[in-house]
Amino acid sequence: MVTKLLKFTGLFLLLATLTGCPGEEDCFDYGSTTRVDDLIKIIPLQTTYNQGDIVTLKVTIPATNTLFGQEFNLFEKTGDINARLVTTAGYLFNDNQVAYLKGSIENYEGGWSNVSYNNVTNVYELEILIKLNRTGNYSFITNDSFEFQGSTKCNRYRIDTNVEGWNSEGKIEFTVQ
C-alpha cells in the first residue's frame, strides 16, 4: 500500500512539474521589455522659465504599435486601462501646482502616474499641466518606465524611456526665475 502511494505521489509530482501547478500561469516574457527614447515630453522645454510659467508633461503611446519588434495591441494583450508611468519627472511636482488633464496620479511622492487608455483613439495618454511656482535650478536624471499589466501576472510589458531633451549626463536641467 505504501509503495503504491509513493508511486502515485511521485507520478503526481512529475506531472505537476511538467504541466505546471494548478492555478499557476505559464508566462513567456521574452521580448516583453524594450527601450524607446523620448516618449515623455515637457512642452515647452526651455533652459529658463519665469515663476508662474506653465509647462505640460505629455505622453502619447498608440496601443497598436511595433515597439516590441512586431505589431500588436498592448490593450488587447493586457486589458490594462491604466498603464503605470514610474517617472523621475515627478520632481517637477514638488512645490508646484499640478493639474492632470489626462491620466491620473497613483502615488504623488513616488512619481507614479496612470497613463489612461482612450478607447476612442486607441491611445494611452497622460497630460499634466505644471505651474512652476518654485524658483531655482531644476535638475533631475530622466530614467523612466511604463508598465502595462492586466489582471494576470502574465502579459506584462515594460517600456524604458526618458524625457525628450535630456543632456549628455541623462538629465533634464533648467532654471525658474
Span 76-89, pLDDT tens digits: 989 999 999 998 88
**Residue in the block written with cell 524658483:** 135
Residue 18 maps to a domain: no
- Grid coordinates representing 4 are 503504491
C-alpha 162 chain-centroid distance = 11
Report how far apart, in Å, the C-alpha atoms of 155 and of each of 20, 28, 120 are: 17, 8, 23
Residue 24 maps to a domain: no
- Grid coordinates representing 73 are 495591441
Q: What is the pTM of this model?
A: 0.81
Domain that holds residue 76: 31-176
Q: Tally helices (H) and strands (E) across the chain.
A: 2, 15
Instruction: Please compute the mean of the pLDDT values over residues 29-48 and round it to a whole number.
Output: 90
Instruction: Please compute the mean of the pLDDT values over residues 15-25 and round it to a whole number.
Output: 44
Residue 157 maps to a domain: yes
Residue 4 predicted with pLDDT over 60:
no
CATH of the domain at 66: 2.60.40
Work out the pLDDT band at 149, boundaries 50, 70, 90: confident
Domain count, the chain: 1
Residue 20 maps to a domain: no
Burial of 98 (0-12, 13-18, 19+ CB in 10 A): middle
What average pLDDT is seen over the chain? 84
Residue 69 maps to a domain: yes
